[in-house]
Amino acid sequence: MEDVAAKRTQHVRFAFSRRGSMNGRDIKELEKAVLSQREKIPRHIAFIMDGNGRWAKKRTLPRLFGHKEGVTSVREMVEMGVDLGVEVMTFYTFSTENWKRPAQEVSALMQLLVSTIRKEVDDLDQNNVTLRTIGQMDDLPELPRRELDLAMQRLAKNNGLVLTLALSYSGRSEIVRAMNRLKAQGVKEITEEALSSAMDTAGQPDPDLLIRTSGEHRLSNFLLWQCAYTELYVTETYWPDFRKQQLLEAIHDYQNRERRFGCISEQLVQS
C-alpha cells in the first residue's frame, strides 16, 4: 500500500509541477507521456466551460469577447481529442439556467452558436467527427435548431469522435424526461439500465473525466446521472485560456489516478 501511495504522490507532483506556460518542447514531452499510457486515455471527457465572462472582464472587454475566445478552446479540445483517440467529448454549452441572463447576451450567444457551426462544420467533417446534442432543443430559437440539424445530418456518416453539445440542458430535467419516456412506454420496473437507455446520452459511455475551469467546485446541474463515478478535475484557468497544454495536464493527472469503483487496490491488481 505504501508503494501505491508513493507512486500516486509522485504522479501528482509531476502533474502540478508543470503548471504555467510551457514551451513547445515541454508540451511535446507531456503529450508523449500521455500517449505512453494510451490505454488510460479517457473514452469520454466532459467539460464545464466556466470563466468566459471573467476572462473578458479581466481584460476590460465585453463578455461576448470571452465567449468568442472560448470557441477557440473548444476547437483545440476537439482537435486534441481526435489526435488522442478520445471517443466522446461533451461540452456544457448552454444550461437551462442561462436563459435567465440578459436578453442581449442570450441573443448574442445564439448568434455565436450559429456562426460557429457554419464555420466549423467543414473541419469537423474532414476530421470524421459526429455532432450530437443533448438537452431541450425545442427551447432554442428556430435558426440555431435548423443549423444544428443540418450539421448533424451532414456529419451523421462519420464514425470518429462524437462531439456532444449540451444546449438548454439540465441534469435534473434530463432524469425527469427519461422517467417520463419510460412511463410513456409502459415500463413498470425502472432499472439503472432502463433509465440510462432513456437518457439523452443513451448509447454513449459515461464520462471518465469531467474538467471544470475557473476554479468552481460544483457540477452545476450537469450530467448528474452519468457522472456517478466520473473523475473530477478542477483548474483555476479560465476557459478561454484552457488549451492543449492544460488538456494534456488534466489527462495525465487522470491517468495516474486509481479508479476503484468500490473495490480495494489489491482487487484491482488481481484483476
- Residues with catalytic function: 50, 98
Q: Which of 172, 221, 237, 175 is nearest to 202 (CA)?
A: 175
